[in-house]
Amino acid sequence: MTSAEPPVCPRCRGEALLWARVPYGWANREGGRVAGRTGVVLCPACDAQAPNAAALITWFHVHGQADDEDEEFVRLLVGWATSVSVPPLDEHAPEAEIERWLRGDL
C-alpha cells in the first residue's frame, strides 16, 4: 500500500518507501491461533540489511514510485512482505508497565 504522503519509519523517524499490511498473529491462552494483520514500513535506512529488502529498495531508487502493474515490483514486494519479521506480542508488557506506573517509575 502506498499513499501520497510517504510513511514515516517508526524506528528512525525518516522517510520510508512504503507501508504494507502483513499477516500477524499469536497463540491465545487455550493455544488457539489469533490471526490479524499489522502494518510494517520499508525503510531505506533501517531495512537495508533485511532479507529481500535490498532489491526492493533498489527498485524504488530506480523507479521512484510503487507500480503494482510492474511484474518485477510485485515479485520483489511479495518476496519482502513474506519475509518481514514482526516481533512477537509480549503479553507481559502491559502488566510490567502497570507495575512500573504503580511504583511511580513511569
Provide, rounded to whole angstroms, the least separation between the CB of residue 8 and Zn ion: 9
User: 53: number of CA atoms within 13 Å, CB side?
Assistant: 18
- The binding site for Zn ion (CB under 5 A) comprises 9, 11-12, 14, 43, 45-46
Looking at the Cβ atoms of 46 and 89, the one nearer to Zn ion is: 46
Least separation in angstroms between CB 72 and Zn ion: 24
Neighbours of 57 (CB within 10 A): 18
Nearer to Zn ion, 3 or 29 (CB): 3
- To the nearest whole angstrom, how small is the minimum distance from the Cβ of residue 10 to Zn ion? 8
C-alpha distances in angstroms, 37 versus 18, 25, 48, 55, 100?
A: 16, 7, 23, 24, 29
